A = this chain, B = another copy of it.
Amino acid sequence: MPNVTPTEDEVAGWFDRYSNWGRWGAEDLLGTLNHITPSMRAAAARTVEHGRSVSCAWDVRMNALDDGGRIQSQRMMLRTGLGYRDGGEEDVSPAGARAVDGHLGTASEIISMAFHGRPITHIDALSHIFWKGRMYNDVPSAYVTDRDGATVHDVRTVAGGIQARGVLLDVARAQGRDWLDPREPVFPEHLEAAERAQGVTVGPGDVLLVRTGEGARRTNGDWNPALNGSPGLHVACVPWLSERQVAVLGADCPQEVTPSGYENLKLPLHGIAMAAMGLWLIDNCQLEDLGATCAELDRWHFFFSLGPLRLTGATGSPVNPLALF
């Protein structure tokens, strides 16, 4: 597929052209997850050879800000291990104030996360994105309310998890580079070049992970989040993603190149992929470990397993996607 940059009008027109509204019924919630069949899932599991598991998530830092400087995560301890004597007794505090009984003590906490921010690894539910006030399959945006959150398209659609064949396209490695530049777009030709270099082909029902090297740049390179802007897929990849019948798209960045390159279109890939196609996205994957493992084994597909939290009314979930070889 050649590298052609569509015009703004063409992109706007793609919403209808690549829409899956009604394709799997008027009540469909799964979107592109319909591409994954049970037999694909079983076949993927049976390809496991080494029993080697790789996490595709970053550590969740606590009491931290996201890349945009907004509050992202907090940990507030409810019980600590401070003040216990060797007997497990705390003899100074007021009676009953410690969770101590006999020898036992416990520690616990509250965690809080605004998980959609960068760099927390998370899945976007189809309620996360609206286009002209509509979610996937023509659901009005007003179904995401202040009181109840997402009353349709919450993340529990994938309560049973996502298990499928995973494929890594390591675009940076295929080009012999450590990482792509901050605002560098990935076009279909780059994806296909990686396929050729790696000897793998993305097909129906695959979980596609794209590595730009953003993680390496973040940890080893010249990182300045204030610079704003990320490498990622150009919206020109929409037809390719549709044609290949990709079930889930993940990347080591928020998926798409930012800025988008279009004056009046912000996050057009998110808009068209999620709201029109019903394509599930996993943002901010940590693909450094996965890239290294794939290169070491010279094997670019694996069994992919993801268990999102079953958060009622949530527009997504923090996750720890696992690749098993």
Contacts and interface: CB of A to CB of B under 8 A. Distances in A.
15 contacts: A12-B103, A38-B52, A42-B48, A55-B310, A60-B312, A75-B313, A78-B114, A82-B93, A93-B145, A99-B147, A104-B270, A107-B150, A112-B113, A305-B307, A308-B320
A45 B38 contact: no
Interface in A256-307: 264-268, 270-271, 303, 305-307
Interface stretch (A83-91, A169-177, A192-200, A244-252): A83-91
Contacts of A148: 94, 97
A311 to B, nearest CB: 5
A272 to B, nearest CB: 10
Interface stretch (A19-27, A129-137, A209-217, A218-226): A129-137
Nearest 8 CB-CB pairs, A to B? A81-B141, A38-B51, A82-B83, A41-B51, A42-B51, A112-B112, A307-B320, A76-B76
Contacts of A9: none
Interface of A: 12, 37-43, 45-46, 48-55, 57-63, 65, 70-71, 74-88, 90, 92-94, 97-99, 101-116, 127-135, 140-151, 156, 159-161, 163, 264-268, 270-271, 303, 305-316, 318-322, 324
A312 B111 CA distance: 10
A60 B268 CA distance: 32
A181 to B, nearest CB: 24
Most buried by B among A143, A265, A321: A143
A265 B104 CA distance: 8
Contacts of A98: 145, 147
B106 A142 contact: no
Contact of A322 (B39, B46, B163, B313): B163
Contacts of A110: 74, 76, 112-114
A169 B256 CA distance: 46
Nearest to A99: B147
Nearest to A263: B102
B63 A71 contact: yes
A12 to B, nearest CB: 8
Contacts of A84: 130, 133, 141-142
B267 A93 contact: no
Given A82-B142, A104-B131, A106-B128, A45 B41 contact: no
A100 B103 CA distance: 28
A55 B311 CA distance: 13
A40 to B, nearest CB: 7
Most central of A75, A104, A148, A267 by chain B CB within 10 Å: A104
B77 A149 contact: yes
Contacts of A37: 51
A323 B49 CA distance: 19
B129 A105 contact: yes
